[in-house]
Amino acid sequence: MVSLYFLLFYINILLIGCVLVYIYKLRKLIGFQLGMTISMVAGGFFAFTSGIIFIYVYPFHFLPVTIAATLLGMAVGSIFGSFFDYQTLLSGYSNGLMMGMMSPMVGAVAKNSFLFLSFAECLFFASLLLVLSSARQT
Amino acid sequence: MILYLYTMLGINILIPAVLFLTMKKKRKLFTDRYGMTISFSASLIFSLSLGTALFFTLPVSFSVLIFISAAAGSIIGLSYGILITFQSLIIGLFNGTIGSLMGTMLAAVIIDPSLCGLPSQFSTLLDRNIILITLFLTLLSLLSSLLLRFSYRV
């Protein structure tokens, strides 16, 4: 079960890397309004899923899990935001921080239910698809 | 321990005040969108940190404490939003209240992990956890205040 969780986390990292490369190629075409929304959505949902996976694997260490999820969300939101502008960096940073702070609490309440994790993964995939399609249409 | 917590509370009050005073001198230079971003991120992070420090410090009951921290967060959001326009005032009020409620919830889970169904820890680890989370949030708010302070040059 633990290896399945780590496999899911690895798939998440691969997907967010692919989306990162795709957005980086299109970054000259995207305006700042869409850039702000893209950085908020990508950083927030990546922090959400990774926080849930971490608290499932290590239920005894609440504090290091919270700190790790917060730093991950901040990093992903800042990287997505830094393609466009300084202000998109700021909004991606703060939203990733907020979602990463919240996600281990939500994952701890769910008590290792696999259904909730699959729901969060579906949410993450759907948001990445929305980001890709919105970046293509502009 | 008590001295450390009060020092952290003082630092958490001091950082938004210093940033607010430096922002107030330059508020004529801000555009509309810049003000919205500033009030969004500043009120969120500072009220999160302040709510956590208030929960550890004040020896009152939970219902009084959540009222105090929500009022403090909304005051932070209002004072950052009132620099620019009415739109940023509403965003700052909303985000400040959300952030302080989140900080209170985080501190309650840190003190008693069985609220979330986690296995409860020993009492020796509790002091270490309180010190670590307060230090981490204070460093985070210091970092974001530096980011916000140097943001309008770019």
pLDDT tens per residue across span A105-138: 888 888 888 899 999 999 999 999 998 898 888 7
CA B69 from chain centre, in angstroms, equals 9
- More confident site: B118 or B70: B70
- Supply the range of the domain harboring residue A42: 2-137
Q: Tell me how far apart the terminal alpha carbons of chain A are, to the nearest angstrom.
A: 41
Average pLDDT, chain B: 85
Contact A87 B33 (CB under 8 A): yes
Q: Is A4 on the interface with B (CB under 8 A)?
A: no
Q: Number of structural domains, chain A?
A: 1
pLDDT 10s digits, A42-83: 999 999 999 999 989 988 888 888 999 999 999 999 999 888
Model pLDDT, residue A49: 93
Model pLDDT, residue A110: 84
Average pLDDT over residues B133-138: 90
Average pLDDT over residues A19-46: 88
Model pLDDT, residue B152: 72
Q: Give B-chain residues touching A63 at CB under 8 angstroms.
A: 110, 129, 132-133
Cβ atoms of B81 and B39 within 8 Å: the answer is yes
CA distances from B14 to A16, B17, B76 (A): 38, 5, 12
Cβ atoms of B123 and A65 within 8 Å: the answer is no
B-proximal residues of A, 25-64, CB under 8 Å: 32, 36, 59-60, 62-63
Of B68, B102, B89, B23, the residue nearest A94 (C-alpha): B102
Buried-state track B77-104, b at ≥16 Cβ within 10 A, e below 16: bbbbbbbbeeebbebbbbbbbbbbbbbb
pLDDT 10s digits, B15-46: 888 888 888 887 777 777 888 888 888 899 99
Say which residues have a Cβ less than 8 Å from residue A111's Cβ, sequence separation at least 6. Answer: B117
What does the alpha-carbon distance between residue A47 and residue A97 come to, in Å, rounded to a whole number? Answer: 8
pLDDT at A14 over 90: yes
Q: Report the sign of the C-alpha dihedral through residues B88, B90, B96, B99, in that order.
A: negative
What does the alpha-carbon distance between residue B10 and residue B50 come to, in Å, rounded to a whole number? Answer: 10
3-state helix, strand, coil in chain B (%, to 5): 85, 0, 15
Model pLDDT, residue A33: 85
Integer-rounded Cα radius of gyration of chain A: 15
Of A91, A76, A73, the residue nearest A37 (C-alpha): A91
Model pLDDT, residue A126: 93
Mutate to test the interface with B, among A97, A102, A103, A116 (most CBs of B within 10 A): A97
Model pLDDT, residue B122: 60
Q: Give B-chain residues touching A70 at CB under 8 angstroms.
A: 140
